[in-house]
Structure 1
Amino acid sequence: MSKTNIDRKLLMAETLRRRILAMELKPGAVVDEIKLGEEFGISRSPVRELIRQMAAEGYLELEENRAARVSGMGYDALRNFFLAAPLLYAVTVRLAAENASATEIAALKDIQLEVAKAAREGDTEGSVYHNNRFHSAIGKMAHNPYLIPSMERVLIDHARLGKLFYHREAGADMQQDAYKAVAQHDEIIEAIERRDGDAAVLLMREHMELSRRRMAEYVVPSGLEEESGL
């Protein structure tokens, strides 16, 4: 494959991932190989290769004799996410505090600048995307190959949930939560940098609780308890 085709394939991969994370491609949506190839100017063979790769990563689902689809996200996925994510995030952030290099910590700080910028600007898609990069970087800083695949799969639904909960039309309380999440990121970085795994785990649990609370409010909107007599 020529360098031009490799560059186009990389661009297609990055674009497709962003569209899935930003919910431009909804859970269960069909991925059209022909249209993708036409959009990025590459043949169907590398498109199919990329689709298989993204299925292995958890972005897509493949079934025999059927077109690829974006991974589903139903009730079970939500429940499983909030059962698995706190455990995975806790163990990876502890290992990151033990194993991260100075270069990796510096790169994490650079990502955090993008997270903070997106929060200030009310950029929901940017917040979701860079938050995903932030947690993915921590997962890689753990330097444990057994954890990375599970972490990357969890991050896909973390991003999609973020797109649901932290929407542009949100009120002041949602914006305050966005700022709080940014501050929590800063504290997590500080804990990693001083090699304090216990503090990093506690901070990460608080950070995940923010997401869990938002999910509960999304499922049961404020005031519904009183109206329904719950």
Structure 2
Amino acid sequence: MQRANSSHDAPSRSWRKKVEENQLATPKQAKGRGSKFVYDELKREILSLVLQPGTPLDETSLAERFAMSRSPIREALVRLSAEGLVVMLSNRSTLVAPINLTEFPRYVEALDFLQRINTRLAAQNRSEPEISLMTQEARAFERACAANDYLAMSATNRDFHMAIANAGKNPYIARAYGQLLDEGRRILHMHFDYIRASSTDSLLGSEHEDMIEAVRVQDIELADRLAHNHTRQFHNRFVEFLSANYSDGFDFELSTLPESA
């Protein structure tokens, strides 16, 4: 069997159809706005796979699309490059960063570590208003699941976990965690149809509620265990998705997260 390319094509027609339903910003929408608008729009399109891995990003074409000069376009691309979402090559061309499937085990390892420490800190340091915000974000995620809105599902899932991270009161750890969550949003979009078909989106909502309760009662060890189990579920779902979609000729070496750590 051949190993997966580090930049693998998007795996299913179903999510291709989903991302095609998203609209690109038009010049009329963008006119008069600056670098931040370009950054926000391109980031949204990259994370939702409207702009697929490996897509060229030409500064001149983007300047025409957003009806502005190339300087703010360049600034936005540099910022996206710093976040690992685009790759700026030596010949001055820019591509949407590939999704490196062979690095998935290392990604999950880092996600597990940061998810656990942020949840532990939240259980230790949370306030009542922060608990209310976590609950609000969990409800928003449930509504997105009910509406089958993939873009909202990934955004509200991130918002929920960042509400926990911010309650931990360590901005350095929270910021690193946020970057990992952003990287994971593209992976989520790759297998949302699989999640829906297996009805595990309801399980995700239940896990969120359990995490909130552990943080609320300040049970640090339980919060740690639930955060770890949450990462393990994400890992297992994605491995199952890959097995279902790449059963022929796909050699994907994945470490398994332990049931407890």
TM range (shorter): 0.7 to 0.9
- Structure 2 residue ranges without an equivalent (≥5): 1-29, 249-261
Partner of 1:117: 143
Decide whether the 8 Å contact of 2:125 with 2:169 is kept in 1. Answer: yes
Partner of 1:40: 66
Distance 1:105 1:128 in 2: 21
Residue identity over aligned pairs, in percent, reads 26
Q: 1:178: how far off?
A: 0.2
Q: 1:41: how far off?
A: 3.3
1:28 equivalenced with 2:54 (yes/no)? yes
Q: 1:185: how far off?
A: 0.9
Partner of 1:189: 212
Segment drifting more, 47-56 vs 95-104: 95-104
1:207 equivalenced with 2:233 (yes/no)? no
Distance 1:211 1:110 in 2: 22
**Candidates 203, 224, 236, aligned match of 1:180:** 203
**Candidates 141, 146, 154, aligned match of 2:180:** 154
**Candidates 102, 108, 113, aligned match of 1:87:** 113
Secondary structure, counterpart of 1:221 in structure 2 = helix
TM-score w.r.t. length of structure 1: 0.82
Q: 1:187: how far off?
A: 1.5
CA RMSD of aligned residues (A): 2.7
Q: 1:102: how far off?
A: 3.4
1:103 equivalenced with 2:129 (yes/no)? yes
Segment drifting more, 17-26 vs 145-154: 145-154
Decide whether the 8 Å contact of 1:96 with 1:138 is kept in 2. Answer: yes
1:102/1:38 Cα in 2 relative to 1: closer, same or farther (>3 Å)? farther
1:136/1:67 Cα in 2 relative to 1: closer, same or farther (>3 Å)? farther
Corresponding residue pairs, total: 218
Secondary structure, counterpart of 1:69 in structure 2 = strand
Q: 1:8: how far off?
A: 4.7
Secondary structure, counterpart of 2:40 in structure 1 = helix
**Candidates 45, 48, 66, aligned match of 1:19:** 45
- Structure 1 residue ranges without an equivalent (≥5): 226-230
Decide whether the 8 Å contact of 1:82 with 1:212 is kept in 2. Answer: yes
Decide whether the 8 Å contact of 2:195 with 2:237 is kept in 1. Answer: no
Decide whether the 8 Å contact of 1:191 with 1:197 is kept in 2. Answer: yes
Give the AA of the match of 1:85.
Answer: L
Segment drifting more, 35-44 vs 66-75: 35-44
Decide whether the 8 Å contact of 1:57 with 1:149 is kept in 2. Answer: no
TM-score w.r.t. length of structure 2: 0.73
Give the AA of the match of 1:115.
Answer: F
Distance 2:93 2:61 in 1: 13
1:203/1:11 Cα in 2 relative to 1: closer, same or farther (>3 Å)? same
Distance 1:216 1:126 in 2: 23
Q: 1:156: how far off?
A: 2.3
Whichever structure has more helix as a proportion of its residues is 1
Partner of 2:76: 50
Distance 2:230 2:195 in 1: 22
Decide whether the 8 Å contact of 1:30 with 1:70 is kept in 2. Answer: yes
Decide whether the 8 Å contact of 1:81 with 1:157 is kept in 2. Answer: no
Give the AA of the match of 1:203.
Answer: L
Segment drifting more, 87-96 vs 146-155: 146-155
Distance 1:108 1:169 in 2: 22
Partner of 1:228: none
Deviations 1:21-63 (CA, angstroms, capped at 9, x unpaired): 1111122222232333333333222221122122222222223
